[in-house]
Chains A and B, each alone.
Chain A
Amino acid sequence: MKGWLLHHKQASSQALRRLAGTPLNTLLGALVLGIALALPAAGEMLLANFLRLAQRVAAKPQISVFMALDAAKVEVAEIESLLRKHPQTREVRLVQREDTLKRFKESEGLAEVLESLPRNPFPDAFVVVPRDESPAGLEAMRADFAKYRRVEHVQLDSAWVKKLDALLRLARLAVTLLAAVLGVALVAVTFNTIRLQILTQQEEIEVSRLLGATDAFIRRPFYYFGALQGLAGGLVAWSTVLIATLLLRGPVADLAALYGIEFALHILPLADSVVLFGLAALLGWAGAWLSLTRHLRN
């Protein structure tokens, strides 16, 4: 156990020495990886902000329940209590047909038309605010309400929820694809860096083998090298996104203010940052593994 720890300490400090020994190469490598990773990281940052904005700005989804025109007041009251008892209901508001008629009569142009009608064309209606705002949840409620007696029509104001949901899913997919493609690039860059490392360390590898070094001993510093370079790339990406966020914050707030929205751009969330660093290190390690497996046989 002690020997194992010692070996890892030696390997990591050797990798650090190699990185520090060629500062320009290290910097350029970190920049290449960092810029590649900055794209999906920036996408993730924008997505997180968009989600935050969408949750705040968008009106709550509603369900409109229209009674039959000839429904009696007793029946309407009965439905109201049913709606209130539904487990997914947050709020119920009754819009009486008389009120609706009055409201429309107040508007120019419609008053005469309504005056000419023999009777009130509007039904009693309810506006229900649901607890569960997911498209599936809304759909389930619509189906439930439609089964109630004397309910003529249930309208789901969820079209926009679906659109927003689809848009967010598309954006999420785009960010994921971008991350996957650039992740492959990171592995490829590390693969090549490690290949060059192996070439320059050829002599040391050979001598170490002759002196009784195991494969693990020889490979370890390269794993650390790949992971550390990936991590450095992650750091560059993270800083790039941070700087971009801070630079954009003012202009975005100004733009939002024009639409009457108070909004400040947030930096990459902590969980996403951790994932970014973890993935960068992991992909660097994977690139090193591929390169070692390909170039270190014999």
Chain B
Amino acid sequence: MIHFDQVGKRFPGGIAALADLTFTVESGEMVILSGHSGAGKSTLLKLIPAIERPTQGSVVVNGQNVAALKRAAVPYLRRNLGMIFQDQKLLYDRSAFDNVALPLAIAGVAVRDAGRRVRAALDKVGLLDREKAMPVALSGGEQQRLAIARAVVARPAILIADEPTAHLDDDTARDIAAMFHAFNQVGVTVLVATHHEALFAPYMTRRITLSHGRLLP
């Protein structure tokens, strides 16, 4: 489903953020990407939706080499991915409902279908009664769950999350981890970057570890 082959990423200025990465995330698998801060976890995740392009090697997602993808094809790649960003990237000038509806509007889903799917997604993360709330009125954990609802509303086959439990208290963080596991249980391929590996330990997930831009064996 996701295959990295000898991937390297060098930023202008010569700093090698990633080097010689080769690994595969199989379809339906859940993988934890761990490593110290600054190890390159975020950079690695950004290569999958082509937010960043590798300077070496190939990144194959759903059979497509993302590294060589044309600019105009990138939006269609991203629509098949559910992404949860470290800084959430919620839109603070619109309601919880409208935030979750955005990916469907982008994909051109009819308004009536969209409403049903938005409520289903909010229900899955336990925010159905907060659909009219503005993001600032939500707690940190609720905001994170809102970001998850937005990531899954278009029913992507792959879910990518960057530090989804950062800044959350332990109970909330455990809830979030359980949520990812639940999505994985219904067949979604999940890749989570985190330095809270222990949260995911109960689910016996495979773990890959980055250190200074390289995979530890």
Chain A residues at the B interface, C-beta cutoff of 8 Å:
2-4, 6-7, 10, 203-204, 206-215, 217
Query: B78's closest neighbor in chain A, by CB?
Result: A212
Measured between beta carbons, the chain B residues less than 8 angstroms from A7 are 108
Task: Given A211-B78, A212-B78, answer yes or no on A10-B105 (Cβ-Cβ < 8 Å).
Answer: yes
- Inter-subunit contact B102/A207 (CB<8 Å): yes
Q: Which of B72, B77, B91, B111 lies in contact with A204, CB distance below 8 A?
A: B91
- Inter-subunit contact B89/A208 (CB<8 Å): no
- Inter-subunit contact B85/A208 (CB<8 Å): no
Q: Could you list some 5 contacts between A and B, CB below 8 A?
A: A2-B110, A203-B91, A207-B90, A208-B106, A211-B102
- Inter-subunit contact A212/B76 (CB<8 Å): yes
Q: Number of residues in B with C-beta < 8 Å to the partner? A: 23
Nearest CB of chain B from residue A237's CB, rounded to whole Å: 32
Say whether chain B's binding surface is mostly helix, strand, loop, or mixed: helix
Measured between beta carbons, the chain B residues less than 8 angstroms from A210 are 49, 51, 78, 83, 85, 89
In residues 28-66 of chain B, which contact A (Cβ within 8 Å)? Answer: 49, 51
- Inter-subunit contact B75/A214 (CB<8 Å): yes
Task: Given A207-B89, A210-B78, answer yes or no on A3-B106 (Cβ-Cβ < 8 Å).
Answer: no
Per-position binary interface string of chain B over residues 74-99, scored 1 when its CB falls under 8 Å from any chain A CB and 0 otherwise = 01111100010100011101000000
Query: B51's closest neighbor in chain A, by CB?
Result: A210
- Inter-subunit contact A207/B83 (CB<8 Å): no
Give Cα A215 to B75, complex, Å. Answer: 9
Is B68 interfacial (CB 8 A cutoff)? no
Give Cα A208 to B105, complex, Å. Answer: 10
Is B164 interfacial (CB 8 A cutoff)? no
Is B8 interfacial (CB 8 A cutoff)? no
Is B137 interfacial (CB 8 A cutoff)? no
